[in-house]
Amino acid sequence: MKIVWRRESATVRDVYEELLERRKIAYTTVMTALKTLEHKGYLRATQQDRAYVYQPTKPRNQVIKGMVREFVDRVFNGSAEPLVVHLLEDKQLSEAELREISRMMGKKK
């Protein structure tokens, strides 16, 4: 999704070649991932010549929000609390990130 958002539109080949610069990946894996994102409504495909061109259907923040909600529903039975506890216990958050979270929590009250 990040590649398609950045480019605003991309073919499977575009995404595949960009990912290949970072790691080995199969073309069919990229094709399947884009088809899945299309099926979920995150991408729209239009055919140009012999290739499908994918474009995002929703803004980045809206898609991320939906994906996080889907993850929380699937992994934590709809409760975000265990996810937050896991993140805090994992100690991967910096002091600055913890301060920002605390500041955001203060705004919610």
Interval 17-24 mean pLDDT: 95
Q: Who contacts 95 (Cβ-Cβ below 8 Å, separation ≥6)?
A: none
For residues 51 and 73, membership in a common domain is answered with no
Same domain assignment for residues 48 and 13: yes
77 with 96, same domain: the answer is yes
pTM over 0.75: no
- Tell me the DSSP string of the chain: -HHHHHHSSEEHHHHHHHHHTTS---HHHHHHHHHHHHHTTSEEEEEETTEEEEEESS-HHHHHHHHHHHHHHHHHTT-SHHHHHHHHHTT-S-HHHHHHHHHHHHHH-
Query: Tens digits of per-residue pLDDT, 32-61?
Result: 999 999 998 999 999 998 999 999 999 999
**In this structure, what CATH number is given to the domain that contains residue 31?**
1.10.10.10
Range of the domain at 100: 60-108
Domain count, the chain: 2
pLDDT of residue 72: 95
Regarding whether 70 and 31 lie in a shared domain, the answer is: no
The encoded tokens of residue 78 equal 């709809």
